[in-house]
Amino acid sequence: MTRCLASLILAVAFFATQLQAAPKEYDLVIYGGTSAAMTAAVQAKKMGKSVIVVSPDKHLGGLTSGGLGWTDSGKKEAIGGLSREFYQRVKKHYDQASAWKQQKPEQYSRYRANDDAMWVFEPHVAEQVFEEMIADYKIPVVRNQWLDRENGVQVVDGKIVSIKTLDDNTYAGKIFMDTTYEGDLMAAAGVSYFVGREANDVYNETIDGVQTARARSHQFDFPVDPYVVEGDPSSGLLPKISSEKPGPDGSGDKKIQAYCFRMCLTTAKDNQVTFPKPEGYDPKQYALLGRYLNGGWKGVFNKFDPAPNFKTDTNNHGAFSTDNIGMNYDYPEATYERRQEIIKEHEQYQKGWLYFIANDPSVPKDVQARMNQWGLSKDEFVDNGNWPHQIYVREARRMIGPVVMCEPMLRAIQPTPKSIGLGSYNMDSHNVQRYVNDQGYVRNEGDIQISPGGAYPISYDSVVPKKDECTNLLVPVCVSSSHIAYGSIRMEPVFMILGQSAATAAVMAIDQDIAVQDVSYDQLRKRLLADGQALDADRKPSPPRQVIDPKKLPGVVIDDTQAQKSGQWLESHSIGGYVGQGYLHDDNKQGGKKIEFATEKLKPGKYEVRVSYPSNQNRASKVPVSVVTGGKKVYEGTINQKKTPEIDGLFVSLGEMDLEEDAAVVISNEGVDGYVVVDSVVFLPVK
């Protein structure tokens, strides 16, 4: 055989090998196995395109099947298309008698036979529904396929040609979609993104960046000492408390809100697994929780939200709960190995939290006894020790696209172009850090829960990159958004809505051989409406509420954040005109609650005592109020909170009275006929 012929044979053999190894090309390649991936894949298949889901996860559905069964849906009428179809399929499951194994349907208040959809469900039911959707449309899914983030994304002339996984499998496509919570494909493709919290002035916002004054929910209800030896800073800080200061309110940083696992717990003894003692368990890690519980905090069980069959979706609640505050800052851009370390640490922390409350002798007996009524659900997450397989990545990377969704858009102050779906949930951030304030007490920072004022549109230009960065990528999860706007957008029904809309645009781009940025919005809108998507919201602007700075008021001012509370008071901002960053209400649950606005260093003399509250017709007409000083009661009366306060529409006067150093105004909700609200008290010197 001649050398030339041998070379030719080798060349043909090599070429044949390359042909055999060449990846199959799909119209749409979806990276990620979240709920957005499911609706995107179904929509592409319904529109006649080939699609593959390349999932780093074994289980499909992300958080929806990973424990988040108590759907953060906002306004139900804002949810349409395949997203609503998912919840309708859930309802059909629970319409079957076989679905109710530990409970009868009439025992579960959120099951209503005449409803078209069901919004609360067990994790395994959600996963089953997703698997059925994939099977119904014969969508290929490859699992445990992790993107090669260093060398696995081939980009030519601004277009992704193919992606390769760490298993050396290659997937080629015309359009690509990143449906991960982390935005790994987006980042590897060279698309701009941001991690952290923007300063308020970046997008003309009011509730982005560092938030200490507004961090009122999931906050310590009373002063708690942060030191190992109480009152002794030299003894060091208790675990889970940062030695750093948060920074000025409204300033930006690279920190992100806390993660946790949404746990599925149960009281059904025949389906219960005792809380395990995690490897490496250290009760000292929960010393702050023990101190808080022994101080009288009773809110441990307030987010054990009931799911069918005597189960829960258990979420974070309170100052020291399932959120592992401050332990996830490097997660968004970390290596896979480092992410696994973070996830493992979160799992250990949260299992330890359960075990500590259920077993540690320092925990109050009534709290401990109640915790021991619960356990992990034996029939959930059966291949993962009954522990959720998906950590709650509340935010990671966020793309910077042609349009950045921001607070003014959500409030309808600034127009939003090219709606492809609606959001409606509160602008919601969990706490970001735990620190020691200037008074030497432990505080949490970052929690925001403020309504946008109604449903709002989400722009198509927030799910596509800038055209000069990539022309065939769509990002319906790590959307182009500020931190606080993402706090509302980041809900699972919304991700499903955006997944479907993004897939529709992808098909149009394929059919017309154009960049995703050049898809005609008029054509896209027409198809989305035909497929049942809700795109329009009748909105009036909802500007930030009037906030009165307590430092600018005359006299000695005590805000509700400084008052001593008895019973569970809830925060609100819904009616404007209040002192500080909000006010508290009693949830219209009469009796057993009071709040004391006290000062210990008042200069003795005559003062006019004023009480502020935002009035409304649902308020109580006779709110008990008293003034105590020098160990005796000097005033007792009631306030009609239905009536607008006579002083600047904000304050009512209780009159003038002689006060000593230790003066206090006490408000209760005993015997009332409506909501009781509390805001601030002012002791105004009488000249």
pLDDT tens, position by position, 538-592:
999 988 877 788 888 999 999 998 899 888 888 887 777 789 888 999 999 999 9
Residue 42 has pLDDT above 80, yes or no: yes
3-class secondary structure, 626:
strand
Cβ-contact 585, 613 below 8 angstroms? no
Residue 166 has pLDDT above 60, yes or no: yes
Q: In the prediction, which pLDDT does 177 show? A: 99
pLDDT grade, residue 13 (50/70/90)?
very low
State the Cα–Cα distance between residues 193 and 199, nearest whole angstrom.
16
- Residue among 282, 286, 279 at smallest CA distance from 300: 286
pTM value is 0.88
Q: Dig out the tokens for 47 from the structure.
A: 């529109």
Residue 33 has pLDDT above 80, yes or no: yes
State the Cα–Cα distance between residues 107 and 88, nearest whole angstrom.
20
CATH topology for 22-195+462-527?
FAD/NAD(P)-binding domain (3.50.50)
* CA 328 to each of CA 61, 86, 93, 193, 436: distance values in angstroms, whole numbers, following the listed order: 22, 31, 36, 18, 20
State the Cα–Cα distance between residues 566 and 389, nearest whole angstrom.
38
Q: In the prediction, which pLDDT does 575 show? A: 77
Residue 392 falls in which region: left (phi positive, over 0), alpha (psi -120 to 50) or beta:
beta
Return the amino acid letter for 349. Answer: Y
Instruction: Report which secondary-structure segment, H or E, holds 578.
Output: strand 578-579
Cβ-contact 622, 675 below 8 angstroms? no
Return the amino acid letter for 580. Answer: G
Mean pLDDT of 298-325: 97
Residue 5 has pLDDT above 90, yes or no: no
Roughly what angle, to the nearest 10 degrees, separates helices 287-294 and 336-359? 40
Q: In the prediction, which pLDDT does 181 show? A: 98
pLDDT grade, residue 3 (50/70/90)?
very low
Percent of the chain with pLDDT over 70: 97
Q: Dump the DSSP string for 422-478.
A: EE-S-EEE---EEEE-TTS-EEEE--EEE--SS-EEEEGGGSS--TTT-SSEE-SSS
Cβ-contact 572, 585 below 8 angstroms? yes
Q: Phi first, then psi: give them for residue 514, nearest 5 degrees.
A: -130, 165
Mean pLDDT of 15-40: 79
Strand 311-314 and strand 304-307: the pairing is antiparallel
Residue 617 falls in which region: left (phi positive, over 0), alpha (psi -120 to 50) or beta:
alpha
State the Cα–Cα distance between residues 202 and 269, nearest whole angstrom.
53
Q: In the prediction, which pLDDT does 22 show? A: 55
Percent of the chain with pLDDT over 90: 89
State the Cα–Cα distance between residues 362 and 187, nearest whole angstrom.
47
Q: Dig out the tokens for 684 from the structure.
A: 């105004």
The DSSP 8-state label assigned to residue 24 in this structure reads P
State the Cα–Cα distance between residues 608 and 684, nearest whole angstrom.
5
The 10s digit of each residue's pLDDT in 451-479 is: 999 999 999 999 999 999 999 999 999 99
For 623, residues 6+ apart whose C-beta sits below 8 A from its C-beta are 638, 639, 640, 641, 667, 668, 669, 672, 676
Q: Do 22-195+462-527 and 547-685 share a fold?
A: no
Kindly tell me the number of DSSP H helices and DSSP E strands found in the chain: 12, 36
What does the chain come to in residues? Answer: 687
Q: In the prediction, which pLDDT does 19 show? A: 36
CATH topology for 547-685?
Jelly Rolls (2.60.120)
For 473, residues 6+ apart whose C-beta sits below 8 A from its C-beta are 160, 175, 176, 177, 178, 185, 186, 189, 191, 464, 465, 516
The residue to which tokens 């997203």 are assigned = 83
State the Cα–Cα distance between residues 488 and 205, nearest whole angstrom.
14
pLDDT grade, residue 7 (50/70/90)?
very low
Q: Dig out the tokens for 589 from the structure.
A: 């649950």
Mean pLDDT of 165-193: 98
The 10s digit of each residue's pLDDT in 426-447 is: 999 999 999 999 999 999 999 9
The 10s digit of each residue's pLDDT in 482-533 is: 999 999 999 999 999 999 999 999 999 999 999 999 999 999 999 999 999 9
Return the amino acid letter for 107. Answer: Q
Would you list the domain boundaries of the chain? 22-195+462-527, 547-685
Mean pLDDT over all residues of the chain? 94
Q: In the prediction, which pLDDT does 191 show? A: 98
3-class secondary structure, 499:
helix
Instruction: Report which secondary-structure segment, H or E, holds 682.
Output: strand 680-685
State the Cα–Cα distance between residues 324 and 239, nearest whole angstrom.
11
* CA 323 to each of CA 174, 304, 391, 425: distance values in angstroms, whole numbers, following the listed order: 40, 14, 11, 20
Cβ-contact 30, 51 below 8 angstroms? yes
